[in-house]
Structure 1
Amino acid sequence: MPTALHTLPAQNAKNSYFNVIIETPKGSRNKFAYDPETELFQLKGVLPEGSSFPYDFGFVPSTQGDDGDPLDVLVLMDAPAFTGCLLEVRLIGAIEAEQTENDGRVEKNDRLLAVSAVSREHQHLQDIKDLSPQLLHEIEHFFHSYNEAKGGEFKPTRRSGAKQAARLVAHGQKLAAA
């Protein structure tokens, strides 16, 4: 049965911000994931020495991706949050991708990109085109390396702007409600 974290609304009714639950904070080598059965955050893996999450990583509640999990989000903000933190964010885009698991299964597994609603450092970012090509390459490289270390593959298929990211969330809400 879904828990409160998974049933929070994807978007705040009072404003245009989306809700995100942080699973893994920026700078962490530990990969945490919310487990709806236990209603706890569980350690799912450890990145190799020298690797860490470049930004806070979490999910949009009340959504579901093609992989069956809530939609993934990488959140740019000034300082790391903490596991379980609820953030209001502005979507700025998405890295649409195919992910091959170590068992050979290929699934669409996009990564939404967002900015914390209260960020000072990133407040000017409104769309993926506002990010430097180098930063986008580094983010994609992180996900490629992360999946490779687990025996899988991450293959970006398209970079999309804020409007497409919002459409991906709307689609994810429909999948979760079905």
Structure 2
Amino acid sequence: MRFDMIVETPQRSRNKYEMDQAKQRLRLDRLLFTSTAYPYDYGFVPGTLAEDDDPLDALVLGETPTFPGCVIGVRPVGVFWMHDERGPDAKILCVPANDPRFAHVQDIQDVQPYVLKEIGHFFDVYKDLEPGKSTNVRGWEPRAKAEEVIVQAVNRLSRGPEGGPPAPADGLSM
């Protein structure tokens, strides 16, 4: 499975950007209250709707940050589960689809354990100082579960309020 993700918040940034889906503009949502920074580029998978009624969240492993609005062709290798004040919140962990440095990373067990701990720690503490916000991290699942979550998010969006059969997602290939 390969698809595009859109970066909202670059690696090492404390600025939390979010795409305003209605106006199609990138907004500065907030400066993280903690001293932590995003460990990798963070954004969303267009054409999806997660359980929190936002597009599905995604992170992409990389050596250097990109920029807000950058579109990256990626493939999933796992999913990180957490709950926040809005309920279940899946984070799809990806690698760049055409980067030879990540060709060997096919599933979650191929990612260095320290990297997984670093990402988990970030999501465990990044909302700690924000009034009314909290997180409860649940852990990692493999690529097969990530792909299942992506398909569910595509179907959730395509059904819309009336339901009906799902439409194929633009930019998503399996």
TM range (shorter): 0.7 to 0.9
What amino acid does structure 1 have at the position aligned with 2:148?
R
Between the aligned partners of 2:129 and 2:123, the Cα distance in structure 1 is 10
Give the residue type in structure 1 aligned to 2:111: L
For residues 128 and 29 of structure 2, what CA distance do their matches in structure 1 show?
15
Asked if 1:139 corresponds to 2:139, the answer is: no
Q: How does 1:11-50 map to 2 (within 5 A)?
A: 16-48=1-33, 50=35
Partner residue of 2:145? 164
Give a deviation string over 1:111-132, Cα, whole Å, max 9, x none: 1100012334333211111123
For the Cα contact (< 8 Å) 2:12–2:65, is it kept in 1? yes
Query: What residue in structure 2 maps to residue 116 of structure 1?
Result: 96
Counterpart in the other structure of 2:155: 174
Q: CA deviation at 1:48?
A: 4.1
TM-score (normalizing by structure 1): 0.82
- Structure 2 distance, partners of 1:120, 1:98, is 33
Contact 1:57 1:72 in 2 (8 A): yes
Q: Which moved more, 1:25-34 or 1:74-83?
A: 74-83
SS in 2 for 1:110: strand
Q: Could you tell me how far apart the structure 1 residues matched to 2:22 and 2:55 are?
A: 14
**Once the 2 structures are TM-superposed, how far is the Cα of residue 150 of structure 1 from its aligned partner?**
2.5
Change (3 A) 1:156 1:51: closer
Distance 2:46 2:78 in 1: 17
How big is the alpha-carbon RMSD for the aligned residues of Structure 1 and Structure 2? Answer: 1.6
1:93 aligned partner? 78
- TM-score w.r.t. the length of structure 2 is 0.84
- Percent identity over the alignment is 34
Using the alignment, how far apart are the partners of 2:92 and 2:122 within structure 1? 14
| Preserved contact between residue 33 and residue 127 of structure 2 (Cα < 8 Å) | no
Alpha-carbon distance in 2 for matches of 1:126, 1:149: 35
Change (3 A) 1:50 1:107: closer
Task: Check conservation: 1:78, 1:120, Cα contact below 8 A.
Answer: no
Q: Which residue pairs with 1:126 in the alignment?
A: 106
Determine the structure 1 residue equivalent to 2:168.
Answer: none
CA shift, 1:163, in A, is 1.1
Aligned length: 158
Residues 1:58 and 2:23 aligned together: no
Amino acid at match of 1:130: D
